[in-house]
């Protein structure tokens, strides 16, 4: 699938995690994530945690965060060195 979202991701320690697409079908929210491992160590994703944060950020105001856990995940959780893994999470 062609990447449709840009600027949603992070990189560090030889890993690059990108959100490629978010779509909704039949009352299920799908989140397509790709993990690029350019390090010499194999990584495995285990029980990811997603958070919904407050849009308002003030210096003195309260910031709240609500944890959201995926209902199911599809794809390989392990990413070998110099490879790319794709994961799909459903909410």
Give the residue extent of every domain in the chain. 9-90
The string of pLDDT tens digits covering residues 45-69 is 777 778 777 666 666 666 667 788 8
Six token digits for residue 39: 């390090």
pTM to 2 decimal places? 0.73
Angstrom distance (rounded) from CA 50 to CA 19: 12
pLDDT over 90 percentage in the chain: 12
Q: How confident is the model at residue 3 (pLDDT cuts 50, 70, 90)?
A: low
| pLDDT attached to residue 20 | 87
The proportion of the chain whose per-residue pLDDT surpasses 70, expressed as a percent, equals 81
pLDDT of 29 > 80? The answer is: yes
Q: Is the pLDDT reported for residue 43 higher than 80?
A: yes
User: Whose CA is closest to 79, among 32, 37, 17?
Assistant: 37
């Amino acid at each position: 699938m062609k990447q449709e979202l840009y600027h949603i991701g992070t990189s560090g320690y030889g890993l690059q995690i990108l959100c490629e697409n978010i779509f909704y079908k039949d009352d299920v929210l799908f989140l397509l994530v790709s993990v690029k491992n350019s390090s010499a160590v194999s990584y495995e994703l285990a029980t990811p945690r997603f958070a919904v944060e407050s849009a308002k950020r003030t210096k003195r105001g309260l910031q709240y965060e609500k944890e959201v856990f995926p209902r199911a995940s599809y794809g390989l959780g392990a990413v070998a060195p110099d490879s790319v893994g794709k994961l799909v999470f459903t909410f």
